[in-house]
Each structure stands twice: as C-alpha cells, then as structure tokens.
Amino acid sequence: MKKGIAFGDSIIKGVVLDKSGSEGIHYSAIEDNFAEQCSRRLGLAIDNYGRFGCTVTVGEKILNRHLDQIVHSDYTFLEYGGNDCDFKWADIGCDPDARHEPNTDLRTFSLTYKALIDKVRNLGSRPVMFSLIPLVSDRYFAHVTRDMDREGRNNVLKWLGGDTEGINNWHEIYNLQIFKLGLALNVPVIDVTTAFLSKKCFQDYMCADGIHPNEKGHGLIADTVCDLFKGRRFK
C-alpha cells in the first residue's frame, strides 16, 4: 500500500462548524473527512497532521517534526493559504484607517512554501498542493464581525471598500500564488477551487462561517482528489 502524509490547516484536518447561535460557535473534526475518504477509496494510508488555524510558517515547524515519516511517504499533501491571507478583523474593526497586514505576507508565504516543497523533495517524497476553497463572502463577513458592535462592523465594511465581496481579494491573491508556485516548481495542484465554483450553488457545500467546507464539501474534495489519482495524473 502506498503511503501519504498531510500537512495544512483545519480544512485538511476535517474541521466543520458544529454549532453557531446564541451559545456561541463550536467546531469539531469529522472522522470521515476528505483525507480519510481518499485514504479508503484509493488504498492510500495517510497520516494527517492538519491543525486548526495553521499558517505555512507554523506548518513548517510541524513538518520538521515528521521528517522521518516524510522519507517513507510516497506523497506529501500540502494545504496552506487560508489562514495566511486572513486578517486580524478585530483590529480593523477598531481602526479601519490604520495599516493592516495579513497573517503571513505574500513574500514570506511564497518563500516558506517553496522551502517546504524543496525539503519534501529532498526527502524523496512527492509534494502535492491544494488550491484554496472559495469563500462565501457574506457568511464570512458575518462570522468575523459577529462579536463587534455596529460601528465595528461598519468599519470592517468600510475597509473592504463598502462591499463584503472585497473580503475575497486577498484570498484570491494567495490562491493565484499557489498556482504560480505549482507551475514554477512543477508541483501538481489539486484544483478544489474549480470543483466548488463549478457547482450551481457551491454555498451548499460550505459551513455557515463561509470558509470551512461541510460534510458535503468534504465529499466533493474527496471526489476531486480521487478522480485525479484514478486518472493517473499523480502516478
């Protein structure tokens, strides 16, 4: 049986929004996440080291603790960017006119991601990247401003240019960078972006927070991955 190892954030970990309401929000990791489904359907044993909130710089530290496993893995799956391009929304809500930077600037994101890919290759494993899942902008805006008063929400909206769709801008920049890295480094990128956007209502595949895929979304990712592997693209 071929082996794989996965690093990334809450999406590859299988985290979904369990509950959202007057009692607050609650996340949980589903057992039958897309990595587990792929493992079962492809006969590919996958060790999953995804972590909630993980950026590529934190991911580098996690990956370095598992070098011995990477050596024995046919594939190393890398899924970063969603938290890297995110902002400290509470700070924006307090002062929209100040300078605000994403969690990981684009240059650091690119250089660190490249370093991870080089390290994986030097260890004899094949790196495979994931593109970003599209945001549901209105849901995500409501999610990140849920604890703000009206002034805070209006400040965030002002910073976004007056439209919640502005929340997608940095997300798309980082997503494009993932595809650029894949092309430049000859690393396959599993295009889950298109898989979601090709659906008539991709929002049905997303949690209420607008950023995490739900159980149905994990099934869609699994289908996308399995179709590519069965098509021998990554053999």
- Residues 15-28 as b or e (16 or more Cβ within 10 Å = b): bbbeebeeeeeebe
Higher local confidence (pLDDT), 62 or 166: 62
pLDDT at 25: 80
At residue 20, what are phi and psi to the nearest 5 degrees? -145, 125
Residue 218, judged by CB atoms within 10 A of its CB (0-12, 13-18, 19+), counts as: buried
* Predicted confidence (pLDDT) per residue in 62-76, tens digit: 999 999 999 999 999
Residue 235 has pLDDT above 80, yes or no: no
Collapsing DSSP to helix, strand or coil, 190 comes out as strand
Helical packing angle, 137-144 and 150-159, nearest 10°:
130
Assign 232 a pLDDT band (cuts: 50, 70, 90). Answer: low
Mean pLDDT calculated for residue range 16-20: 78
Tell whether pTM > 0.75.
yes
- In whole angstroms, give the CA distance from residue 218 to residue 30: 10
Inform me whether the pLDDT recorded for 20 exceeds 60. Answer: no
Each residue's pLDDT tens digit, 102-156: 999 999 999 999 999 999 999 999 999 999 999 999 999 999 999 999 999 999 9
pLDDT at 198: 97
Beta-carbon contacts of residue 31 (< 8 Å; ≥ 6 apart): 14
pLDDT-derived band at 23 (thresholds 50, 70, 90) equals low
Q: What is the pLDDT of residue 19?
A: 65
Q: Which of 59, 64, 6 is nearest to 37 (CA)?
A: 6
Q: How many CA atoms does the CB half-sphere of 172 hold within 13 Å?
A: 8
With a cut of 90, say whether residue 196 has pLDDT above it: yes
Q: What is the pLDDT of residue 231?
A: 72
Average of per-residue pLDDT across 203-230: 96
Res 234: pLDDT: 56
**Whats the size of the chain, residue-wise?**
235
pLDDT score of 210 more than 80: yes
